[in-house]
A = this chain, B = another copy of it.
């Protein structure tokens, strides 16, 4: 194991496995455990911003996906739940909440009568434009906790891993109704 300045929770876990199961090489738990634990802690921190704006992380994701798709800020539920890696039923519920808050609107899809399209309202657009600014600043502050060179290195190597995990022949399927 590489020497580090400060031990983290994962170091403690690895030390315990080493003591209890010296026959195992548990080292893969290091990077993978750290990714998952960082993710959990990040979600907690970023969630504080979202509640400031009266929304959940999931709602932010939907609004942000619509916003960055560009005018007229209109996508199908299918496009949304595929992008967000959630099931169609979950998307139905999220859209109900967002619609009840007046942040999105469902408009008929003239191309396909099976589906409605989901469109950002002016209030939704205004909200996500403000929220994303605060969100990015929060993220920037978090990354400022470590060296800029570490941030760059993380980005490069995480991208390599993510590219592999996203390969269609590796990925587990998402249930969208069949």
Q: List chain A positions with a Cβ less than 8 A from chain B.
A: 2, 4-11, 13, 16-17, 19-21, 24-26, 28-32, 34-46, 48, 67-70, 85, 129, 132-133, 136, 139-140, 142-143, 145-147, 150-166, 170-172
Looking at the assembled complex, report how far the CB atom of A74 sits from the nearest CB atom of chain B, in whole angstroms: 14
- Chain copies in complex: 2
**Is the Cβ of B35 less than 8 Å from the Cβ of A158?**
yes
A161-B136 in contact (CB<8A): no
Q: How far is the CA of A27 from the CA of B12 in the complex (A)?
A: 32
Measured between beta carbons, the chain B residues less than 8 angstroms from A139 are: 28-29, 32
Given known contacts A35-B158, A145-B164, is B28 in contact with A172 (CB within 8 Å)? no
Known: A37-B162, A48-B172. 14 other contacts (CB 8 A): A21-B68, A28-B136, A32-B42, A36-B42, A38-B39, A38-B161, A39-B40, A42-B165, A44-B172, A146-B160, A150-B160, A150-B161, A153-B157, A154-B158
